[in-house]
Structure 1
């Protein structure tokens, strides 16, 4: 991956087949169940899963504060790759996310890249707790996959 000094990478293996992980990641009614760190309630405002399509989700914290996450899909290769712009207002703005999916013996290997405009911004995001935040989201996704 180019620009590695600007990129945060998180890898997981989900204990679910690729088709199920893909469906959970790309379908609005599923996304609402797991998107956002633990304790957040997510409402899908818009979700147009196609190249050039936009997405916008509202995440409500337990204390009532609202965060908006939104972006535009840049690349979609079914069951392999999603690339999107992403803003998580007010915490993170102007990043791109690239998600890679790979079937692995009935499980799904998952690589998640967050590409920042500068190395300094990446470092600031690390200090803010980006690994814990996304780790919590992926824990919620794994727990949700088990219910499907």
Structure 2
């Protein structure tokens, strides 16, 4: 996966469950920073909009806290900022 600064890192995972327009559940390994987490992307129709919930499930609370200290939440924040810009650009195209 390419980062905004041009650097790259390896992202691997397995899709565990896909329900169209409802949810995507996968494993995720973002080597070397994060390994063996579950990603849950949940979608819920709300009129003309879609509510989106995103969960990252770590095996232990300790591992979750370690990841938070490493900036895990900031990393996902930048991903969602990029997603928002993409969606807004697509809406204006």
User: TM-score of the superposition, structure 2-length normalised?
Assistant: 0.86
Query: How many aligned positions are there?
Result: 90
- Provide the residue aligned with 1:130 in structure 2: 72
Structure 1 gap ranges (5+) = 1-57
How far apart are residue 60 of structure 1 and its match?
A: 4.7
How far apart are residue 131 of structure 1 and its match?
A: 1.6
How far apart are residue 107 of structure 1 and its match?
A: 2.1
Determine which structure has greater relative contact order: mean sequence separation of CA pairs < 8 Å that are 6+ residues apart, divided by chain length: 1
**Separation in structure 2 between the aligned mates of residue 115 and residue 88 of structure 1, nearest angstrom:** 14
Please provide the CA RMSD for this pair: 1.5
Please state whether the residue corresponding to 2:83 is helix, strand or coil: helix
How far apart are residue 110 of structure 1 and its match?
A: 0.9
User: TM-score of the superposition, structure 1-length normalised?
Assistant: 0.56
Structure 2 gap ranges (5+) = none
